[in-house]
Chains A and B, each alone.
Chain A
Amino acid sequence: DVKVTQSSRYLVKRTGEKVFLECVQDMDHENMFWYRQDPGLGLRLIYFSYDVKMKEKGDIPEGYSVSREKKERFSLILESASTNQTSMYLCASSPGRTSSWETQYFGPGTRLLVL
């Protein structure tokens, strides 16, 4: 079974704090993604990575950065958390480019509240 885990299910932070969300997958997938999901706006792509140390901006990268030092781990960093970053954050992974990459496997999500 593919397993994508996220470091926290719920997180409460204060405005201005630096926040780290971690995602780990155990299927040797090349591609990893970070989304946020908000009511009425759906899933929006923040950043993705198709290889170690590689990263690409998604649709809403502002206020976020990412790190992928190892293939199995993809971290999302909120440099200075703001209240408009309160959201559900979902990590996903998918196999390499030559196979059925589009099957994205999602982690359980982290519900972040920024006060």
Chain B
Amino acid sequence: QKEVEQNSGPLSVPEGAIASLNCTYSDRVSQSFFWYRQYSGKSPELIMSIYSNGDKEDGRFTAQLNKASQYVSLLIRDSQPSDSATYLCAVRQRYGGATNKLIFGTGTLLAVQP
């Protein structure tokens, strides 16, 4: 089982719809979760982080975390063609001492159709 799993997609949604991106993780002790966006040919950029169960909203983005189910999701409301990108889920794992590392999923390709 992969440590962080995402459906590779593509996930195709019409403009204005809600895009729902999902991620599951295997390590129960994971505490911190992140969503990165990566446009084609570009490097990843952080868009959301979440640490507690429940929802966290930032503009059109909502991250949802359910630690009991080991599940984290990203909702994008009012999807725009400019949201078309690969979305990477990342989970922080304690490596040792004060230094931690991120484990990334393989990403979900989102295509927003005009």
Contacts and interface: CB of A to CB of B under 8 A. Distances in A.
B45 interface: yes
B99 A48 contact: yes
B104 A102 contact: no
Contact of B106 (A31, A41, A109): A41
A107 B44 CA distance: 9
Interface string B67-94: 0000000000000000000001000100
B32 A31 contact: no
Give the interface SS of chain B, mostly helix, strand, loop or mixed.
strand
A90 B45 CA distance: 12
B29 interface: no
Contact of A31 (B42, B46, B99): B99
B108 to A, nearest CB: 11
B98 A106 contact: no
B4 to A, nearest CB: 8
Contacts of B104: 42-44
Contact of A56 (B34, B42, B92, B95): B95
A43 B88 contact: yes
B43 interface: yes
Interface residues on A, range: 20 to 34
Contact of A42 (B95, B101, B107): B107
A108 B45 CA distance: 11
A42 B105 contact: yes
Contacts of B95: 56
Interface in A46-66: 48, 50, 56, 58
A101 interface: yes
A33 B65 CA distance: 26
B102 interface: yes
Interface of B: 8, 32, 34, 42-46, 49, 88, 92, 95, 98-102, 104-107
10 contacts: A31-B99, A40-B106, A42-B104, A42-B107, A48-B101, A50-B98, A90-B44, A102-B92, A104-B44, A109-B43
